[in-house]
Each structure stands twice: as structure tokens, then as C-alpha cells.
Amino acid sequence: MEGTIICYGDSNTYGYDPCSLMGERYPHRIRWTGILNDRSGWEIRNHGVNGRCIPHDPSQLRFACKQTEDWSKLESPVWLWIMLGTNDLLMDPEPEAEKVRNRMQHFLQLLLKQQAVQQGKIQLRLISPPPMTPGAWVEGEQIIRESRNLEKEYKNLSRELGICFTGTGSWKIPLVFDGVHFSEQGHRNFAEGLLQENIWQKYSR
């Protein structure tokens, strides 16, 4: 294995299958993380959690810092890929990409202060979630518009903080009936987008 990639995200990283009866997940071979694990030469660790927002309260932030400390003990190189923000928009009665950006900024600034990140043991990458589409969970133009705007906000934030960034808005990831979750083809397309960009090879030791 070349190294380890920690995929830190929500249900679309976890691989939640919205068509299942018991909140199950797609099989390993379907999930984008599983596809990357099988094809990239890197160990892909899936740290997706259903419903996760960007960590922002003290307990969440302390736990994230503790996880970073644990991940720093892995054999280098280690990437920490962060793809969050969708749930932050969904839970806000007045969703705005700028507010989500500000929450992400606070989280990333905390991670950048961690010893493992400062010493280069862990490399950060921010990934913008694919935009939502009209569906059972997504009503109104505002949330769709703001989910599209999030990529620009994250790109500018990544530039300001000096961390790596991947935008996914142009990949046109197929979503299911709820307008939020990846379909099986969506997972395959998402993995293919990452494979084509070959972004793990941009690790700077």
C-alpha cells in the first residue's frame, strides 16, 4: 500500500443506501471508498457517519482532534479527506453556503493547529460535496442554489488556508429520489472522478 487515506464525511461517504429498509449501506464494491480501496493502491479508511455535520461544538472538536492524533500514528503518508456541508445546509431553515464555509473554516483552522498536521504527518484535502437536486429531502430553489455555491466557497477557503481542494460539481453525480444521496452509479462515477484526477499522488512529503 502507498499509504492511508482517511475519508471523513457523512452518509455519502458512509455509503448509505436510502432504498434499504433498515438504513443499510451499499456493499463495499459499490461504495466509492471501496472502489478506491480496490483500485488506487492506497488503504482507504471509511470514516463516514450518517447525518454528520461539520464538527463545531466543543465535544465534537475535541473528538476530532483525538482522532487526528490517533491517525498520526499510522505509517506515512496519511491523507485526511474531508467532505462535509450537505447536512449543515439541510438542517438550516435559511441555508447559506457562506455560513457553512465559516463553520468549515473554524474546523480546518483547528486541524491545522494539530501537531500531526503542522509536522506534515497528515495532509488535508477539502472536497466539496456534489450539489443537491430536487427530491423528497430537497424542496425550494434556495437550498439547491446554496449547495451549488458551496464549491466556490470551499475553493476560496482552501486557497486562503493553503490546503488541497477538489471540486466535484462538474461531475454530475447521479442522486436518488431524495435529491441528496448517491445512487449506485453515483458512487461509481464519484470514484472514477477521483481516480481520473489521481489526487493522492499530489501528496507532499
Whole-number pLDDT of residue 121: 94
**By residue range, what is the domain housing residue 176?**
4-202
Whole-number pLDDT of residue 204: 42
Report residue 165 CA to chain centroid gap.
11
Q: Which residues 6+ apart lie within 8 Å of 163 measured at CB?
A: 108, 112, 124, 125, 126
pLDDT in tens, the chain (205 residues): 689 999 999 999 999 999 887 879 999 999 999 999 999 999 999 999 999 999 999 999 999 999 999 999 998 899 999 999 999 999 999 999 999 999 999 999 999 999 999 999 999 999 999 999 999 999 989 999 999 999 999 999 999 999 999 999 999 999 999 999 999 999 999 999 999 986 655 554 3
Whole-number pLDDT of residue 19: 87
Whole-number pLDDT of residue 176: 97
Prior bond to 77 cis, omega within 30? yes
**Alpha-carbon span 1 to 143, nearest angstrom:** 40
Whole-number pLDDT of residue 201: 59
Q: Contact 82/126 with Cβ under 8 angstroms?
A: yes
- How many domains would you assign to the chain? 1
Q: Which of 31, 56, 19, 36 is nearest to 200 (CA)?
A: 36
Tell me the three-class secondary structure of the chain, residue by residue: CCCEEEEEECHHHHCECCCCCCCCECCCCCCHHHHHHHHCCCEEEEEECCCCCCCCCHHHHHHHHHHHHHHCCCCCCEEEEEECCHHHHHCCCCCCHHHHHHHHHHHHHHHHCCHHHHCCCEEEEEECCCCCCCECCECCHHHHHHHHHHHHHHHHHHHHHCCEEECCHHHCCCECCCCCCECHHHHHHHHHHHHHHCHHHHCCC
Report residue 32 CA to chain centroid gap.
12
Phi then psi for 101, rounded to 5 degrees? -60, -45
Whole-number pLDDT of residue 188: 98
CATH number of the domain within which 162 lies? 3.40.50.1110
